[in-house]
Structure 1
Amino acid sequence: MGMKGKFKNLFGLDEEYEIIEEEMEESDEEQKERRSKKNVVSLKSVQSSAKMVLCEPRSYDEVQDIAEHVVNRRSVVINLQRVDTGQARQIIDFMSGAVYAVSGQIKKLGSQTFLCTPENIEITGSITEVMEDVDPEQRW
């Protein structure tokens, strides 16, 4: 027996190594149980997190606040009836960039109404609009 072995026997370190190994095995089993519990997701928590925000901006200055909703994973319906055509185009351009940044979608719901959604919301279907009576300057 070498010096290392004598030292272990003198202080009883051989026994501690066995105890530590047993404790480590138990902690591995506990970790496996914890991992399996983490895979369970409550559907109530997923449903309660889905929100929709209705916005009716009066100027382009409000567009950052609207974009924050999309970044925070909320759907936004934007009604642009209260802004002039130039500002409405700027708002839609800004929101298109914000929606693209979060891998979302933007859809036109009406002549001046848009739906912006983050990536966790899927939009299906389409709304057709008859644009015969609308001034060409108003189309976007």
Structure 2
Amino acid sequence: MGVMDGLWRWLGVEREEVREEIIELPAYSEEGQRGPTNVVSIHSNKTFKVVVCEPESFDEVQVLADHLKSRKQLILNFDNTPPEVSQRIIDFISGTTYSLEGHSQQLGKNIFIFTPSNVEIAKDHRSLMRKHGFANPFGGER
């Protein structure tokens, strides 16, 4: 207690003492923690695999379907595949993709992508606008 405190008390004014209460939280330990945590990992140990293939015969279709069942993405290039064989492969893989609730998209004239249900195919809005003939609103060529 200092001189100023004595003066204030002599004048009849007392100051309230503010006491800080420190609450200690238990130490964090990964081993002993059982309850829910607020820590969320943004990194995943799962890696997504993409299988790129140029099938030559219908005999390869079961291996391709197994890749989809294993949650891998398929990119199929049919440039060097006979048209009747490529149509049969597309039909089979499309059915597999549908049954697994996956997605498919034609990327080029003879290139297709098939994905499992955990992968979404996002479409580029600019290419959709060009495909449907929408003009550039600012004029000129792009």
Fold shared by both chains (TM-score > 0.5): yes
Give SS of 2:91's match.
Answer: helix
1:24-103 superposed matches below 5 A: 33=34, 36=36, 42-46=41-45, 48-103=46-101
| Unaligned stretches of 5+ residues in structure 2 | 1-32, 132-142
Tell me: CA distance 1:59–1:44, structure 2 relative to 1, closer, same or farther (3 Å). Answer: same
**TM-score, normalised with respect to structure 2:** 0.59
CA RMSD of aligned residues (A): 2.6
Report sequence identity in percent: 36
Structure-2 change in CA distance of 1:44 and 1:58 (3 Å): same
**Structure-1 residue corresponding to 2:18:** none
Structure 1 counterpart SS, 2:75: strand
Cα distance, 1:40–1:105 mapped onto 2, change above 3 Å = farther
TM-score (norm 1): 0.60
Q: Deviations over 1:45-100 (max 9, x none)?
A: 25x42111101111010011111111111111000112111010000000001101
2: distance between equivalents of 1:45 and 1:78? 27
For the pair shown, which has the larger CA radius of gyration, 1 or 2? 2
- Unaligned stretches of 5+ residues in structure 1: 1-31, 131-140
> Where has structure 1 moved over 2 Å in runs of 4 or more?
39-46, 126-130
